[in-house]
Structures are given as C-alpha cells and as structure tokens.
C-alpha cells in the first residue's frame, strides 16, 4: 500500500502524469473494450475434461488481448513492419533458390572440367552470399522490432490494468491463479510475445520454401523406375514423395514423444516463479528473519522450493533428451537420403552431378520446412505454458474489472461532499469479495480542521475501513465522499521506501526535484532525521537501511513537503516510542494547523492530539460504529449517529419536565 492516495488531484496540484502520447496513455486506449464474459465450465465434464477446457480458454483469452496490437488502438507500425517481414521472407526464399541453382551450375561445370564457368560462378557466389546475409540480417532486425514493440504494447496494457483502481492490491484479497504477477508480466509475457512472431515467420518461410523446392524436386527428380519381382514399378516425383514421408515420420515421432512437453514446461515455469518469489520474500523481510534467527527455517523452505525446481527440470530434461533423438537423427540422415535415391540415376547417366547436388540441397530445404515442428516443438510448448500464465493473470483482472462494473456484490461509491464537510461516510458498509460483512452501516461526517481518532479492538475492521476510504477496498455499499479539489495523503503503518536516493524517498510520490534541497533538508530536520542530511543524494537500499521508526519519521517529512488538506494515519506512529510519537503529532498540528486528520490507532495517548473519537465494535454481522464523542468541545453539526447515541445515554425525562419543555417560552 503506497503512502499517498490522491483524489482528485495529484499532491502537487498538477494533472496526473501520462498526458500526451506516453506508453501509459497508449495502454489506456488499448483496453477500452470490456473484459470478456466469464466462461463457466460445463458441469457435465469430468475434472480432466474441465481442466483441458480451461487451458484451451486460457490461450483464447491471451489472444483476445494480444491480437489488438494489430487492431484499432494498436501500434500504428504493426502492419507496416509485418508486411516488411513478409517481404524479407519472400526475398530470402528467392536467394535460397538462386543458391540452389548455383549448386547445380557449379557441380555441372566441375563434372565437365569447365574452368571458365567455375571461375564465373565463383564470382557470382559472392553477391549471392552478401545478398542472403543482408536479407537475413534485415529480416532478423524487423522480426525483433515487431517482438519488442508488441511486448512493449502488451506489457504496458497489462500493467495499466494491473495498477488501475488498486487492482494490484486487490489481487491479494481474492482467490485465483495469479500468484507472482511480476514474474508473469516480466518473463512470461516476454516469451508469450516473442515466440509467436518466430513461429509465424517460421511457418511462412517453411511454406514458401517447401512450395518452391518441391517443384524443384519434382522437376529434376522425375520418375524412378524400379524392377520388382520381374515387374517394373514407376514412382513419379519420387523425391517429393520421399521428402513428405520422411517429414511425416519425423514430425509424428516428435508429436508422440513430446506429447507431455507442454505440461512439463508449464510446471517448470511455475516452479521457477515460486522459487523467485521465495527468494524475494526472504530479501524483503531480511531484518525480521535475522532478528528472529529464522535462517534455518528459511533455508528449509528454500531447499523445498528449489527441490521442486530441480524435479521439474529433470522431467523437462527427459523430454528434451527424447526429442533430441528425433531431431538430431533427422538432421544426420536427411542429407544422405536424396543422394542415395539419386545415385542409381546418376550412375546410369540420366542425372548429372549438378542435378544430384541440386536435388540434395532442395531435399534438405524441403525437409527443413516440413520438419519445422521437430525443431520448434520445445519452444512451442514453452510458449504455451507462458501464454496460459499471463492469461490467468488477465482473467483475474477481468474478474475485478467486471466486479467494478457490476452491482452483484455491491461496490463502495466515491463522490464529493456537500457543503463544507471534508470527508463523509454515508451508510458505508465494507465486505469481503464473497459478500461477508466486515463493517456495516457507518455514517460519519468530518468537518475542516477536525482531528478524528478511530479506535476499536484488533480485528474490528479499522484498517479495512481505511482501505475503503482510500479506494483500495471496493466491496461493500454506501459511499465515501471528499470535499472537491482537496488533496488526500495517507500514511500506512509500513511506509513505502522507493529505490534510489534518499531525496527521492522523502519526495515520494512526487519527483525528487520538485522541491529545493534546502526544503527537503528542513523537513528532515523537523522530524528528527537531520543526521541523514549529508546522505540525501546517496543512492542506497534505504528500505533495508532505515529502521521502522525512521521510515515512519520520513513519512511525516513527506507531509511537510506535500502539505495535503486531509491526512489519514493508519497506525502511522506504531514504531515510534511515546515521546517521538508526541513530537510527530504536535509537529503536524503546528506545521499544518488547518489540516483535517483521520487516525487509526490503538494507543490511548493519541487522544490528546485529536478533537473527536469514534469507536468500532466487532459484532457477528460485521463491526459497527458504537460511539462518537468530542474530545475537545467545539461547535459543530452532529451527525445522526451521534445524536442517536447521545439520546440513548441520556436519562428519560419526567412527564412534568417534558410538559414544561413543550410549553412556549414566557414572553412577558
């Protein structure tokens, strides 16, 4: 949870970042279409059939978003680059055909001992090679350009959806297959966008090469006549038939041997992601682990996770070994087959040496084209697994987005207050994503300059209420309203410290150069971090270096820089001692006397810094606001709940007193 949640303007009063043709804005135009409808599995399917149906839909879900790169709102260079790649492939096949003819010419000249032709063709070979290298180089450049731009476009779109409306946080609150979203967005999405471009380019190249050189094989090979049991059998286009049969055998063998490749590759990627997550978790919580002496337990957990990685790698290695037998064997046998088949015709004089070598070259090209699956099946399996993982994340985001557009579970509304109130909660109810109530029917109105303390026992829903106010918790009912054009700043219990310099950490979420250096140093002085002023431009792992108390002090320094209108403190002084806590609270009151404060805390000592206290009480049907009292007497409009509670605490009036109260005043 970030320190600041800004509504409706950024904390420095400017418009939100992303104006203009930024990648973020481009992504926002990509995902304007509503998420696909949820697909429920057929209840009559067996568990195995349902799982297969789910995997098929995951690939479909990936393409629903990925193909928009070539559609309206996609990259304007998508089609020009794609057409350019197709042109390069066609030209490359043309150069392959030229080299194939060159093979025939050079070997025929050698067979005839024609030195002039050999020298001439030797000179022709140089431009053929240079042209082929140039075309392939340009083809690689264009192909990788498409991959890079497609990845950039889709990554930006997924990140935009992931960060929108706090969904990156809400994913932690719901079930689903979306663990380790950072690995899915970085690694899985890279493979999911690189491989299809390679596959499409490979298929087109293989099709054009096969079509071109099958004609060559048919033309130069002709028919083969074989004497069998006193009869002569003529096989037309025998080289073509042999090439097709050979490719069919190798491809079928690969499909049978590698049929579990997709499942094993997917399991390996999942195991790798879990291992990375475990390592990251240890790094991020290194201080707590070190203080508790939990290294041995963490080592056991890492060993367990890494053992699963090695297990999945062993299974994948077996699949690679099996497919290598087919692919490597095919690579060794393919060049020999056409030479053996053409040998009888060469020996009888019906084929020249040049034709034999041309046939061998064409056969190898056709075999390579037909054997595309043999060479790329492992990569295809890896892509399959990665595309499903990124699609699983997309589906979880789809669910959150549909929930935002639906009232089936109820959504907390956000709007503007009426009058001068800075913040109002109107019949606010907070629930889980399954509808279970956490906080029910809360009505609170906070006026400008009020300092309100929210108290209650642990588990009563105080922090959940704060998340609902911040807009991070969407489920529930009622509304949260802020005064128009006022700036909200939140201080959570664990302040976020970004990477980079200390200056950037203090200025966050603003830019590091948004304030002069002297102003930033002054803010650090006021929160008792003046000893860090000499290191303010130092780029260091401050999240690991600063203590919990120093991080909370730094968060208060941010308040002095941003000077918001409303502050929400969620146990923001829990890591400070009582004296430091008092100093921070008094500093806020002195430096920002007009600011409105909403605090969530357990410490009773904080009451002295607040003008009002509301109490939540945990109950079976959800926590309720049971009291709303003034800590400092002041004239203000009491809300309905306060009047009801006050009336309940007051003793009933006697009838005589009530009658006297009902009589009009004596005007004499």
pLDDT given at position 591 = 92
Query: What is the per-residue DSSP string for 446-506?
Result: E-TT-EEEEE--TTSSHHHHHHHHHT---BEEEEEEE-TT--EEEE-SS----SSBHHHHH
CB 491 within 8 A of CB 8: no
Q: Give the pLDDT means over successive 10-residue stretches in the chain (668 positions).
A: 37 32 40 63 75 84 92 90 95 91 89 89 91 94 95 93 84 79 88 92 90 86 72 78 82 77 79 85 79 84 91 87 79 80 82 86 82 74 87 88 71 80 83 72 83 81 78 79 83 87 91 90 93 91 88 93 90 89 92 90 85 80 70 55 47 41 38
Q: Which of 584, 598, 504, 595 is nearest to 550 (CA)?
A: 584
Q: Which of 472, 471, 466 is nearest to 439 (CA)?
A: 466
pLDDT given at position 623 = 67
pLDDT given at position 34 = 62
Euclidean distance between CA atoms 337 and 16, whole angstroms: 67
pLDDT given at position 5 = 38
pLDDT given at position 553 = 93
Neighbours of 109 (CB within 10 A): 20
Give Cα 20 distance to the centre of its chain. 23
Euclidean distance between CA atoms 176 and 167, whole angstroms: 13
């Amino acid at each position: 949870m970030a320190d600041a949640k800004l509504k409706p303007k950024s904390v420095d009063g400017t418009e939100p970042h992303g104006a203009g043709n930024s990648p973020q804005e481009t992504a926002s135009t990509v995902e304007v279409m509503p998420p696909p409808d949820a697909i429920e599995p057929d209840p009559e399917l067996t568990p195995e059939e349902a799982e297969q149906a789910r995997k098929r839909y995951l690939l479909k879900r990936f393409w629903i978003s990925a193909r928009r790169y070539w559609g309206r709102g996609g990259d304007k260079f998508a089609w020009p680059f794609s057409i350019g790649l197709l042109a390069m492939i066609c030209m490359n096949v043309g150069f392959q055909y030229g080299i194939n003819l060159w093979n025939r010419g050079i070997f025929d000249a050698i067979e005839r001992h024609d030195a002039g032709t050999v020298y001439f063709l030797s000179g022709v070979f140089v431009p053929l090679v240079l042209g082929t290298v140039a075309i392939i180089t340009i083809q690689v450049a264009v192909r990788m350009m498409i991959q890079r731009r497609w990845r950039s476009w889709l990554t930006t779109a997924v990140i935009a959806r992931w960060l929108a409306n706090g969904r990156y946080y809400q994913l932690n609150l719901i079930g689903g297959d979306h663990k380790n979203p950072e690995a899915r967005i970085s690694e899985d999405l890279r493979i999911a966008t690189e491989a299809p471009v390679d596959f499409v380019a490979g298929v087109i190249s293989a099709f054009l090469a096969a079509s071109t050189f099958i004609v060559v094989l048919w033309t130069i090979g002709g028919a083969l006549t074989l004497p069998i049991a006193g009869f002569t059998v003529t096989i037309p286009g025998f080289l073509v038939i042999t090439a097709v049969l050979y490719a069919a055998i190798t491809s079928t063998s690969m499909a049978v041997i590698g049929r579990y490749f997709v499942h094993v590759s997917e399991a390996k990627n999942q195991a790798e992601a879990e291992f990375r997550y475990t390592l990251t978790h240890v790094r991020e919580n290194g201080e707590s682990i070190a203080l508790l002496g939990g290294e041995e337990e963490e080592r056991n957990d890492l060993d367990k996770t890494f053992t699963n990685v090695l297990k999945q790698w062993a299974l994948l290695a077996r699949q690679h070994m099996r497919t290598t037998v087919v692919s490597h064997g095919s690579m060794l046998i393919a060049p020999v087959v056409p030479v053996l088949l053409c040998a009888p015709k060469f020996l009888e004089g019906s084929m020249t040496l040049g034709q034999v070598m041309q046939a061998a070259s064409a056969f190898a090209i056709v075999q390579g084209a037909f054997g595309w699956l043999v060479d790329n099946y492992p990569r295809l399996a890896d892509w399959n697994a990665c595309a499903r993982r990124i699609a699983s994340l997309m589906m979880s985001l789809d669910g959150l987005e549909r929930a935002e557009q639906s009232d089936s579970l109820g959504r907390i509304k956000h709007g503007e207050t009426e009058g001068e109130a800075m913040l109002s909660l109107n019949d606010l109810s907070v629930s889980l994503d399954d509808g279970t109530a956490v906080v029910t029917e809360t009505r609170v109105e906070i006026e400008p300059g009020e300092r309100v303390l929210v108290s209650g026992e642990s588990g009563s829903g105080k922090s959940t209420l704060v998340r609902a106010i911040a807009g991070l918790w969407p489920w529930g009912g009622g509304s949260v309203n802020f005064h128009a054009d006022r700036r909200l700043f939140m201080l959570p219990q664990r302040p976020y410290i970004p990477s980079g310099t200390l200056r950037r950490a203090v200025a966050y979420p603003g830019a590091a150069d948004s304030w002069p250096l002297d102003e930033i140093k002054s803010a650090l002085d006021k929160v008792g971090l003046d000893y860090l002023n000499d290191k303010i431009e130092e780029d260091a792992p401050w999240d690991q270096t600063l203590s919990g108390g120093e991080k909370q002090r730094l968060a208060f320094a941010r308040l002095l820089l941003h000077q918001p209108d409303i502050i929400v403190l969620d146990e923001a002084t829990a890591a400070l001692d009582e004296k430091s806590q008092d100093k921070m609270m008094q500093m806020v009151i002195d430096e920002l006397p007009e600011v409105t404060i909403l605090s969530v805390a357990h410490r009773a000592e904080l009451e002295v810094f607040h003008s009002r206290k509301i109490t939540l009480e945990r109950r079976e049907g959800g926590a309720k606001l049971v009291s709303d009292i003034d800590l400092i007497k002041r004239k203000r409009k009491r809300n309905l709940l306060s009047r009801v509670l006050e009336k309940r605490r007051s003793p009933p009036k006697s009838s005589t007193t009530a009658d006297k109260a009902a009589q009009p005043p004596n005007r004499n």
